[in-house]
A and B are shown apart, each in its own frame.
Chain A
């Protein structure tokens, strides 16, 4: 055995065992407060939030977990103007601020196509996260990577390496991609069913590869040298519909055994994949009502598949307009709405509705006719998003209102002071429909102050967010998750 067999020998041994979930009721004393009503939100969304308390709060993580984006856009372009600087500089600055502020994890997105509507990826996520791993110590590192254009053996090596070099801080945000097929072949994007079937098989393969070194395969002799027991490293001999992979993996067991698995995508096929495999699901849940329905659906399906209560955890991006005062927040929203280019907005709404319709002549102040709405099953990409926007259209939102909604691309958006925003977050947290939240904007000094000294401070005061202590050792332990068999 080459000496490099010991490359990672010290990783897993230094890890503390993961802590378990806390029982319900620990934080149940505070009554949920109603969300501040917001005149800029369409009326049909207000008042839709009166369903009974979710039954999904039987088992909850102790506190709300926090994530911030280190992707860096559009600042990435300002940096690119200066050849003496690197786009990683912004990410490093955000990482340092996030670690100081006690965020649980950094999030790096991926986009496989440069282009339209500002959806421009900053950098290749796996290498950027690897670079961030050496300028951070404790914070989790979430890389978004598609299963549609990667081979599982390569993914197992890349994420395996990332988990090792970060001492167990790696998480994989699994996506199946709605764009980018033109960069990998001349074939059209596979259907959602095909993409999710490939994703499921990818997970079966990478899990088997990460488990291909059995416990005890690598031990230390009395002189502290690693000894490999080859009989405990076994091929996986996978032969499936999409892949045949012999294995074993050529990397020793990961500090976390597997990176934390996050899954994004909430079409029917996406929900099935998330319920079956994900530890956390990244969601677009614009209203409490939709959040309740989605949480109930995916966690009930997970339970039916024999998984523990309360998983997968619900992860939402929080598109907030922060104001030091309510007036400031409203003024900022007003300015943003004033600045909307409604002609571009028509294309954006068409995109949110699956991309196959032309809204260039539709009247702005009337609802879209039923005949204009797409058949969901015929849409090939981002079906979950199309479902949300079809639903808005059926609720009678005008095209103008839909364009305003589309600015947040179907994500949860709120407006207010840090205290008001904390109310909105607390409502979802207490309702059991929010476990992990993404708060973005740390690289903007004004937002940094409002987020860290305002919102996070308020959430900590209320006992919703705990001061991060990173006591668990690994990201999974810090998130209060236990690896299922």
Chain B
């Protein structure tokens, strides 16, 4: 599904909903239309927007194939809670969780936890530490840590559950996680390119003015070790030739990135036009990846392998 020689796009959609009913309708429309991933934007001070992780959990059982990636802000959330919440989302959704790394760092945003903004250097360290600690916690239970020994009533092999003993610049975490390893092994981490987390991310989200600049940044992300690069595309259909322009843009992006995250200006009117008028044209040209099938994990949909567990012994058989 992720044959790099195929210039076809994974599709992500930033999903909105004016209330719980329209959120249900929006996620359902996105899944029906074959999107690989729904993203849930958020910020500690986002006006009138409910918390993104809770929204993603809310739709986890209304859906069976679309990925669910909330923005959780590493700068205002305890790393252990963040890792645990994402693991719970992955369990709840049968392996469809993603995480958009949020880095809210404004004066008012940081003030919600009684803190001052981080310096650029502190911010980079904090984001790298939180991402690293989440990844370590997701590995803290080996895949075969869970056993069933009815005779002794044991359900766990204690040798396969590990402390992570993480010591970062501003926090420490001993671990292990309280939940078994996420079904995907590692949740799919999507990092906005400005955060410079390319080597820790599964997907780098690239925001640039045109396809050429996006392509250049995508190459840099791949060189740094990111498996996938997606372009951030904001769209709307207010102008008369907007449909054709968006089709052209996505055609050119298909040659330089692995996927796009589409962000509608007016979700209620723009998403139906996208689904009815834009996507069919691209699909007919073979520029879209196949829609996920029921039961697919997000990693499977994106062609990402299930990562080996860092704690598994040398030579252990990986699933």
- Using a CB–CB distance below 8 Å, which chain A residues touch chain B? 1-11, 74, 76-78, 80-81, 83-88, 92, 111-114, 120-124, 126-128, 130-131, 133-135, 149-151, 153-154, 157-158, 160-162, 164-165, 167, 182-186, 228, 243-246, 250-252
Contact = CB atoms under 8 A, between A and B. Distances in A.
A135 B180 contact: no
Nearest to B141: A114
B177 A114 contact: yes
Contacts, number: 197
Q: How large is the interface on B (under 10, 10 to 19, 20 to 34, 35 or more residues)?
A: 35 or more
A8 B48 CA distance: 8
Residue from B18, B50, B171, B176 having most chain A Cβ neighbours under 10 A: B50
Interface string B43-78: 011111111011111111110000000000000111
Contacts of B45: 250
Contact of B88 (A11, A128, A251): A128
Residue from A87, A165, A228 having most chain B Cβ neighbours under 10 A: A165
A385 to B, nearest CB: 21
A108 B290 CA distance: 38
B174 A182 contact: yes
A245 B88 contact: no
Top 6 A-B pairs, shortest CB-CB distance: A182-B174, A77-B155, A130-B57, A124-B88, A161-B50, A153-B112
6 contacts: A83-B183, A86-B93, A130-B55, A130-B58, A154-B44, A161-B51
Given A81-B148, A127-B89, A128-B57, 18 more contacts: A7-B50, A8-B48, A123-B88, A123-B92, A123-B179, A124-B87, A126-B85, A127-B92, A128-B88, A130-B55, A133-B58, A135-B61, A182-B172, A182-B173, A182-B174, A186-B172, A244-B111, A251-B48
A326 B242 CA distance: 76
A176 to B, nearest CB: 15
B114 interface: yes
A4 B46 CA distance: 9
B173 A183 contact: yes
Nearest to B146: A80
B201 interface: no
Given A114-B177, A134-B59, A251-B48, A154 B113 contact: yes
Interface of B: 16-20, 44-51, 53-62, 76-78, 80-81, 84-85, 87-89, 91-94, 108, 111-114, 146-148, 155-156, 161, 167, 171-180, 183, 266, 295, 319
Contacts of A92: 61
Given A149-B80, A158-B54, A3 B18 contact: yes
A224 B171 CA distance: 48
Contacts of B19: 6-11
Given A8-B19, A80-B146, A114-B178, A87 B51 contact: no
A85 B53 CA distance: 21
B88 A6 contact: no
Contacts of B60: 88, 131, 134
Contacts of B56: 127
Contact of A127 (B85, B108, B174, B295): B85
A192 to B, nearest CB: 21
B47 A86 contact: no
B281 to A, nearest CB: 28
B18 A185 contact: no
Contacts of B156: 77, 120
B309 to A, nearest CB: 14
B171 A185 contact: yes
A111 B92 contact: no
Residue from B77, B92, B266 having most chain A Cβ neighbours under 10 A: B92
Contact of B171 (A2, A86, A184): A184
Nearest to B97: A127
Contacts of B167: 186
A431 B148 CA distance: 44
A184 B173 contact: yes
A417 B243 CA distance: 70
B70 to A, nearest CB: 10
Contacts of A246: 108, 111-112
B58 A157 contact: no
A85 to B, nearest CB: 8
B48 A6 contact: yes
Given A7-B18, A112-B80, A135-B61, A74 B172 contact: no
A160 B50 contact: yes
A120 B54 CA distance: 23
B76 A151 contact: yes
Nearest to A181: B174
A77 B50 contact: no
Given A149-B80, A151-B113, A250 B49 contact: yes
Given A7-B48, A158-B51, A120 B111 contact: no
Residue from A9, A10, A134, A149 having most chain B Cβ neighbours under 10 A: A134
Contacts of B62: 134
A341 B133 CA distance: 37
Contact of A7 (B17, B81, B91, B295): B17
A126 B52 CA distance: 12
A154 B113 CA distance: 8
B71 to A, nearest CB: 13
Contact of B174 (A121, A126, A183): A183
A149 B172 CA distance: 13
Nearest to A122: B179
B172 A2 contact: no
B182 to A, nearest CB: 10
A37 B91 CA distance: 45
B162 to A, nearest CB: 10
A245 B111 contact: yes
A297 B32 CA distance: 58
Contacts of B84: 123-124
Contacts of A86: 91-94, 183
A183 B175 contact: yes
Residue from B55, B112, B175, B319 having most chain A Cβ neighbours under 10 A: B112
A160 B156 CA distance: 36
A167 B54 CA distance: 14
A375 B51 CA distance: 44
Contacts of B172: 182, 185-186
Contacts of B174: 182-183
Contact of A121 (B53, B147, B178): B178
Contacts of B148: 77-78, 81
Nearest to B49: A4
A154 B77 CA distance: 8
B52 to A, nearest CB: 9
A244 B114 contact: yes
A120 to B, nearest CB: 7
B87 A88 contact: no
Contacts of B58: 130-131, 133-134, 165
Contacts of B266: 3
A184 B61 contact: no
Nearest to B45: A250
B158 to A, nearest CB: 9
Nearest to B77: A154
Contact of A183 (B50, B57, B80): B80
